[in-house]
Structure 1
Amino acid sequence: MTRTPRAHGRHRTAAALALLCALTATTQAPVALAAPGPRPATLDDVRRQLDDLYHQAEVATGKYNAADEKAKAQQKKITTLKGRVRTAERKETRLTALLGSAARAQYRGGGLPAAMQFALASDPEHALDNAALARQAQQGTERKLAALRTAQTELRTRTDEAATELADLKASRRTMSENRDRIKARITTARTLESQLQDTQLRRLSELEQQDEAEAQAKWVGTGILDEVGTRASAAGREAIEYATEQLGKPYVWGAEGPDSFDCSGLTSQAYLHAGIAIPRTSEEQWARLKHVPISRMRPGDLIIYFSDASHVAIYIGQGQIIQAPRPGRWVYVSPAGSMEILGVVRPDA
C-alpha cells in the first residue's frame, strides 16, 4: 500500500542500501547495524522506506499515464490532420487542373477581348452570346483561382498544425520514457530491499502494515463518518462496483488498464467505462475534473482520492471498504477506506 511520502529528496537510494546492509544478518527488530554509526535501523524504518519508494513510483506512474493519454490524443489528431492535408492536396490538384483547362480553352478561342470579338464578328448577335459566355467563363476561372488560393492556405495551415502536433507527440513520448525510467528505478530499489529481508522479517513487515491500516481505519470510523455517508449506489455506481469486484485478485501493473492487470486509476477508469461513463485516466485528473462531494455525502460507487498530490484512487463499495489496485507486487483487493490519507471524494456520475 502506498502511504504519504516521508523525507522526499533525501538520498533515498543511499538510505535503501544502508538498510539492506543492516537487514542481512538478523531477524530481530530493531535490526542492528554491522558497524557503529547511525542509530539502528528497524523494520519500521524499512517499511517507511518502502512506502516512500512505492509512492514515488505511483506518482511517476500517474505522470506516465498522463503523458500516454496526451500522446494518444496527439496521435489521433495527427491522423485527422493528415487526412485533411490529403483532402486539401486533392482539392488543390483538382482546381489547378480546372484552371489549366480554362486557360487552354481561352487560348483556343483566341484570347480576344469581348469588344474586339464583337467588332470583328459577321454576326453581332452571335458575338454577344459568345461574349457573355466568355465573361461567365472568366468569372468561373476567377472563382476557381480564389478557391485554389484558399485551398493552398488551408493546406499550409493543416501541414503546420500536423508538424506542431508531431513535435508535441515526440515531447510526450520523451516524458513517458523519463517517467518509465523513474518507475522502474523506484520499483527495482524497493524489490531489492524486500529481497534482502528474511521470511520472519517479511511477515513482521506485513503485520506492521496491517496494524497501521487497522489503527488508521479505527480512527476514521471513530469520527462517526459511517453514520453519515450514503449506503445506496446509483445504477452506474453499482455497475462500476460490479466490474471492480470481478477484477479482485488481478495484479497491479503500472500503466495497465485491464483486462488482465491494472494500476489504481486504470481500475477506476475502466470500472466506469464499463458502466457507460468515460472519466479521466489518471487519479490527478479524476480529482481535478470530476465533481467533488463532501465525505459525509459519499456513497458506494464514488471514488476516494488519496494523498495531498492525488496520486492514488480507489472505488468506495460501502461499509467503510474500498476496492483498489494498491502498488507493484500486490493485486486488486478489498481494504479499509480510511487506511490511507484521504484527500477527498469525487462522483463520476454526478
Structure 2
Amino acid sequence: MGSGVRSVTTTAIALACAAAILSAPGVAYAAPTTPTPIPTPAPTLTPAPTSPGTKDLEAVRMKLDTLYHDAAVATDAYNLAEERTGKQSAQIVGLAREIVEGKVRLDDLWERVGAAARAQYRAGGLPDEAHLMLSDDPREFLDGAGRIRQGDQATKGLLTEMERTQKDLEQYARDAAAQWKKLEANREAKAKAKKKVEERIAAAEKVESELETEEKERLAKLEQQAAHRAQTAWLDSGVLDDAGGTASTQGEKAVRYATAQIGKPYEWGAEGPKTFDCSGLTSQAWAAAGQGIPRTSQEQWKQLDRVAVGAMRPGDLIIYNSDASHVALYIGDGAIIHAPRPGRTVTIAGAGSMPILGVVRPDK
C-alpha cells in the first residue's frame, strides 16, 4: 500500500477505534485475497484476572457471536421467503385477472357463435339448387351464398378462438394453483425463519442480561480489540496495496445514502427508513442509486458480479462469512458502513474486521 493511503487508513482506523466505531462483534481473522475466506490464527488474548464466580468473557463473546450469526442466517432466510411471497402474491393476482378477463372473452365468443348459428339456421332449409331455381335474381342468390360461406368461415374462426381461450383459462388456473403452493411453502419457511431469529436473539439477550455492568464494559473492550486486531492483520496483508478504484456515479449515490443512515438502529427484516438489517441497508442504498439488487446478502453474493478484493471501489458490497450471512457497503480507504446486529446501530467499521468471503459490484 502506498504510504499516503496507508497513513490515511491508519489514522482513520485509529480514530475509529477511539470512538468505538470499529466494534464488530463476532469477528475472526481472514486474509481475503480470494473469494474463499482464509482464516489466520487469532492472536492470543491476555486473559482477564479470574476470581470465583467471574464469567469467562471470551467464551461469552464467542457464544454471542454464534447466536447472532445464527440469527443473521435465519434473517436472510426470512427475507428471501418474504421477497418470494411478495412476488408470488403478485403473480397470483395477475393470473386471477387473466382468468376473469378470459371468462368475459369466452362469454362474448359464446354469444357471437350462438348468433352466427341462429343466422345460419334461419338461412338454411332448402339446398342451394332449390334456392337458385326459386330465386327471381340469380346474381342476388350468388351474392347471398357468398356471404353465407363467409359466415361459415367466421363461425369456424370463432370456434377456434373459443377453444384457444378455453385452453388459456385452464393453463391460468394450473399456474395459479402452482403459485399458490409455492406461496404456502414460502409462508411456512418464513414463519420457521422468524421463529428461529426470535429464539436466537432472545437467547443472546439473556446471555447479555446476566452480565454485570463491569463485565459488559470488559466484553465491549474485547469486541473492539478483536475487531481492531483483525483489521490490522488485514491491512498488513497488503490486500489494499494496489487499491484505489474510483466510485462510479451510482456508487457515490449508494455511499451517500448509507452514510445518511449512520446511527439508525438495526432491526432484522427491516429495509428502512428508520431501521435496517445488513442487506436491507445495502439493497436500499443501491435502490436509492437507481439500481435494484437482490434483497438478501446470500442472493447478492449469488447474483451480482464478483470482483477481486484488491480491485474493489467505493459502493461495492463486501460479503462476509463462508455462508454469505452478512454484507456491508465499502466506502473506501479500508472502511465499510454496515448494520451489524441486534442492539447495534448502522456504523462505520474496518472492512477487514470480519472474515471476508468476497466482493460484488452492483453496477458495471
How far residue 111 of structure 1 moved from its aligned partner, in angstroms, is 4.5
Aligned runs of 1:81-230 on 2, under 5 Å? 81-230=95-244
Q: Please, what is the CA RMSD of the aligned residues?
A: 1.8
Give the distance between the partners of 1:286 and 1:211, measured in 2 at CA: 30
Match of 1:3 in 2: 26
Q: Say if 1:346 and 1:127 are closer, same or farther in 2 by CA, change over 3 A.
A: same
Give the distance between the partners of 2:180 and 2:318, measured in 1 at CA: 36
Q: Say if 1:337 and 1:119 are closer, same or farther in 2 by CA, change over 3 A.
A: same
Give the distance between the partners of 1:99 and 1:32, measured in 2 at CA: 93
Give the distance between the partners of 1:321 and 1:270, measured in 2 at CA: 19
Match of 2:320 in 1: 306
In terms of mean alpha carbon deviation, does 252-261 or 70-79 score higher? 70-79
Q: Give the aligned residue type for 1:155.
A: L
CA contact (8 A) 2:27 2:227 kept: no
Give the distance between the partners of 1:173 and 1:113, measured in 2 at CA: 66
How far residue 228 of structure 1 moved from its aligned partner, in angstroms, is 1.8
Give the distance between the partners of 1:238 and 1:173, measured in 2 at CA: 37
Q: Say if 1:248 and 1:281 are closer, same or farther in 2 by CA, change over 3 A.
A: same
Q: Give the aligned residue type for 2:120.
A: Q
In terms of mean alpha carbon deviation, does 118-127 or 193-202 score higher? 118-127
CA contact (8 A) 2:25 2:227 kept: no
In terms of mean alpha carbon deviation, does 258-267 or 114-123 score higher? 114-123
- Counting matched residue pairs gives 322
Q: Which has the higher contact order (CA 8 A, sep 6+)?
A: 2
Aligned runs of 1:319-330 on 2, under 5 Å? 319-330=333-344
Q: Say if 1:201 and 1:115 are closer, same or farther in 2 by CA, change over 3 A.
A: farther
In terms of mean alpha carbon deviation, does 335-344 or 120-129 score higher? 120-129
**Any idea what SS the aligned residue of 2:240 has?**
helix
How far residue 172 of structure 1 moved from its aligned partner, in angstroms, is 0.9
CA contact (8 A) 1:67 1:176 kept: yes
How far residue 336 of structure 1 moved from its aligned partner, in angstroms, is 0.9
How far residue 231 of structure 1 moved from its aligned partner, in angstroms, is 4.8
Identity %: 47
In terms of mean alpha carbon deviation, does 307-316 or 81-90 score higher? 81-90
Provide the TM-score with structure 2 as the length reference: 0.84
CA contact (8 A) 1:64 1:179 kept: yes
**Any idea what SS the aligned residue of 2:267 has?**
coil
How far residue 200 of structure 1 moved from its aligned partner, in angstroms, is 0.6
- Residues 173-221 of structure 1, C-alpha deviations (whole Å, 9 max, x = no match): 1110110000000001111111111111111110100010011011001
How far residue 69 of structure 1 moved from its aligned partner, in angstroms, is 1.0
CA contact (8 A) 2:26 2:61 kept: no
Give the distance between the partners of 2:184 and 2:51, measured in 1 at CA: 48
Match of 1:245 in 2: 259
Segments of structure 2 that go 5 or more residues without pairing to the other structure are 1-23, 29-47
How far residue 129 of structure 1 moved from its aligned partner, in angstroms, is 1.9
Segments of structure 1 that go 5 or more residues without pairing to the other structure are 6-27, 34-39
Give the distance between the partners of 2:285 and 2:128, measured in 1 at CA: 74
How far residue 31 of structure 1 moved from its aligned partner, in angstroms, is 6.7
Q: Say if 1:222 and 1:136 are closer, same or farther in 2 by CA, change over 3 A.
A: same
**Any idea what SS the aligned residue of 1:314 has?**
strand
